[in-house]
């Protein structure tokens, strides 16, 4: 199966997401060895010499960070994400006008 390099994200992200959910549910800290395993599986399944290992790994890590944060890698965040209040949204949307 030849995959267009631009479609890599569409192929890699769903697979990385289900893989990360499985590890996070089992309370396993994701290590470089885990990333290597998934990267090798994806390289074999994509079968396209134009898609580099680096690109695939970047997509895998990006997906994990987007959905599970740095805690999935065993790192405590230095700053917690804050939710934007409804009041702030109204305030700044008025200023934009």
pLDDT of residue 1 exceeding 60, the answer is: no
Distance CA 70, CA 42 (A): 22
Q: CA dist 88 to 38, 69, 79, Å?
A: 41, 24, 20
CA dist 58 → 72, 84, 86, 92 (Å): 15, 28, 34, 34
pLDDT, residue 12, reads 84
Q: Over the stretch 11-61, which tens digit does the pLDDT of each residue have?
A: 888 888 888 888 888 888 888 998 999 999 988 888 777 888 888 899 889
Q: Please give the structure tokens belonging to residue 28.
A: 């396993």
Q: What is the pLDDT of residue 82?
A: 74
Model pLDDT, residue 33: 92
Q: Are 34 and 84 in contact (CB under 8 A)?
A: no
Residue 2: predicted pLDDT: 53
Say if residues 67 and 15 touch (Cβ distance below 8 Å): no
Summary mean pLDDT of the chain: 82
- Residue spans of the domains in the chain: they are 5-78
């Amino acid at each position: 199966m030849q995959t267009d390099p631009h479609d890599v994200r569409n192929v890699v992200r769903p697979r990385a997401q289900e893989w990360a959910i499985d590890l996070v549910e089992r309370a396993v800290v994701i290590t470089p060895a885990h990333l290597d395993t998934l990267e090798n599986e994806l390289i074999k399944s994509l079968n396209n010499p134009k898609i580099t290992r680096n690109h695939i790994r970047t997509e895998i890590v990006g997906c994990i960070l987007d959905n599970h944060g740095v805690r999935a890698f065993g790192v405590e965040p230095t700053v917690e994400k804050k939710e934007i209040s409804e009041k702030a949204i109204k305030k700044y949307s008025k200023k934009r006008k």
